[in-house]
Chain A
Amino acid sequence: MITASRVQGTDMNVNARRKRKADPVRIISFLTLVIITALMLLPLLFMVATSFKTKQEMLQYPPSLLPETLQFSNYKAIFSALNFGTLYQNSLMIGIVTVIGTLLSSSLAAYGFARFRGKGRDFWFMLLLSTMMLPYPAIMIPQFVLFSKLGWVDTFLPLIVPAFFGSAYNIFLLRQFFATLPEELFDAGRIDGCSEIGMYWKIALPLSGAALATVAIFAFIYSWNDLLTPVLYLNSSDKFTLPVGMASLTSSKFRIPPWQLLMVASVLAVLPIVALFVVAQRRFVEGIVLTGIK
């Protein structure tokens, strides 16, 4: 006790001294951060500004930061040029279903790994961890063969169904979280006659808001940004996801890419991510810190 308070006392002295004298290292750090953040945000600011420019203004040099007049017509143009509404809907739909599937299946498996000490658990858990290293391209061809035999090509099923079988990364993340829940809670549940599945549903899940939000955001963003899988499976343009449709904008059919439209597409593609971030940012970062690893 005495030692602790003494250490604490010194601690306070150090802090007090630091407050009085402005620390040059911290001032330099602060300025460095300002510069780095500005550099990071600059492309995004230009992206938004450019999406409102006319074609002429877009091509002029030096580039203007703010557009002369706001061309909302660009936003209209992309909806007619690219069938953007449909692409958006497709991507949103796939993203939401993927999130639901991932949350259900991954939390179930994570609960299994966290709460039971059954025979072979460690073996299966190691296997789970090793699938995190598994590169998608290594399994993409046989999966493609499998899904085409099932007649799933040019449907959303290949993009959605695997999510309902859990993903290693999310299971790992949730397991780490579930393992921190106090055993007493589950003992109390058991005394009240709660079944395992009941404890999963009524105790583990409600206490895991931050971790579940983290998994949901990861799953949504992954699905939203994914290009390779939809490129493989989707053929008809009315089934394209947003990334597939956007990728077609840079294809060689334009000698000069319609830059202002590319930027409109990017702004629209980033919007749901911004929205998610604004809504869940605090819980999300909390979740990352709580679970210790991604």
Chain B
Amino acid sequence: MYAFISPWLIGFIVFALFPIAASLYYSFTDYDIIHSPKWVGLENYKTMFVDDLFWKSVTVTLQYTFISVPLQLLLALGFALLLNQKIPFQGFFRTAMYFPSMVSGVAMSLLWYWVFNPQIGLFNYMLSWVGIKGPAWLMDPRTALYSLIIMSFWTVGGAMILFLAGLQGVPSSLVEAAKLDGAGRLSIFLHVTLPMISPVLLFQLIMGIIDSFQVFTQAFVMTQGGPNYSTWFYVYNIYTSAFKEYRAGYSSALSWLLLFVVLFVTFIIMKMSNRYVHYEGGKS
């Protein structure tokens, strides 16, 4: 076995284990990447708490997570339920809805940068059809973050495909049995479908939260964290601290906090899920 997994094992040690340890060490130092690190104890962690930009980045990131992740999951599940019926052109719909999530990254950011343009962009033009005068979106500190949240709905196709796979794994015998017992659509969904796909839901929830903690490309390409720091995402903050301000020690402390929070959130969700998530065969 070890012969087979050794490439991964070496990679794990060199590209994950060692960097994690090094990052922890750097977080206790004053370090500019060029000169050797100087031990400063808990200094970086203390700085964090009085750093306005740190708090701003935490607020922005949490706001984004709490609004965008649940809505994305709802939309993805809704679309998957729509597609899971016998409907003409099913393959076409599936492909068309999944495709945007492969366009993610800079190409998507450039496209939406234009879509959100207040004068010539598609979004305000479409709003004008229904008589709404749209805001300045990315250029207004009050709407910039919401623009990025709206944009995130464009890529729910990825989550949708996973839900669809989950839905197709629900044994039709169970659904038919429930129907024979006189259950309606809603009650079949609540008592048969939902419990059966709860592991997929859990997986998506965790991955969705972890991903939204790590928004970077949008902030880098579309807003540079602005206007007025309204899209100053946490990872964008880590990036600027380390590679623009050369405070790699401080930045390491920020990234260790991120690592810690991600592990903590995962742990909490897993614990909670033992009560709500149904696994076939009763294993948890």
Q: A residues touching B (Cβ–Cβ < 8 Å)?
A: 7, 10-11, 14, 25-26, 29-30, 32-33, 36-37, 40-44, 46-47, 50, 58-63, 105-106, 108-109, 111-113, 115-116, 118, 121, 124, 127-128, 131, 133-146, 148, 162, 164-166, 171, 196, 200, 221, 224-228, 231-232, 242-243, 246-247, 249-250, 257, 259, 262-263, 265-266, 269-270, 273, 277, 281, 285, 288-289, 292-294
Interface residues on B, range: 35 or more
Which residues, 102 to 147 on B, are CB-close (under 8 Å) to A? 102-115, 117, 119-120, 122, 125, 128
User: Would B259 and A262 count as touching, CB distance under 8 A?
Assistant: no
Q: Specify which chain B residues have a CB less than 8 angstroms from the CB of A137 in the assembled complex.
A: 214, 216, 235, 238-239, 255, 258
**26 examples of A-B residue contacts, CB within 8 angstroms:** A7-B176, A11-B176, A25-B185, A26-B85, A26-B87, A29-B87, A61-B125, A62-B125, A63-B125, A106-B8, A108-B5, A112-B3, A134-B16, A137-B255, A139-B16, A140-B255, A141-B252, A146-B22, A165-B15, A200-B4, A224-B105, A225-B104, A263-B114, A269-B107, A292-B169, A294-B162
Q: A143 contacts which of B15, B87, B109, B115 (Cβ < 8 Å)?
A: B15
Q: Does the CB pair A127–B213 fall under 8 Å?
A: no
The answer to whether B255 and A293 have CB atoms under 8 Å apart is: no
Report the minimal beta-carbon distance from B262 to chain A, rounded to whole angstroms. Answer: 6
Point out the residues of chain B lying under 8 angstroms from A249, CB to CB. 110
B106:A146 contact, CB within 8 angstroms: no
Knowing A43-B112, A146-B19, the reply to whether A250 touches B1 (Cβ < 8 A) is: no
User: Does B33 sit at the interface, judged by CB under 8 A?
Assistant: yes
Q: Is B210 an interface residue (CB 8 A)?
A: yes
Q: Which of A139, A227, A262 contacts B113 (CB 8 A)?
A: A262
B182 CB to nearest chain A CB (Å): 13
Please name the residue on chain A nearest to B204 by beta carbon: A294
Partner of B22, one of A30, A115, A145, A196: A145
Structural contact, A141 and B251, CB atoms closer than 8 A:
yes
Residue in B88, B96, B216 whose beta carbon sits within 8 Å of that of A37 in the complex: B96
Residues of A within 8 A of B9 (CB): 124
Interface status of B83 (Cβ within 8 A of chain A): yes
- Min CB distance, A35 to chain B, in Å? 11
Closest to A26 in B: B85
Min Cβ gap A4→B in Å is 10
Chain B residue at minimum C-beta to C-beta distance from A111:
B4
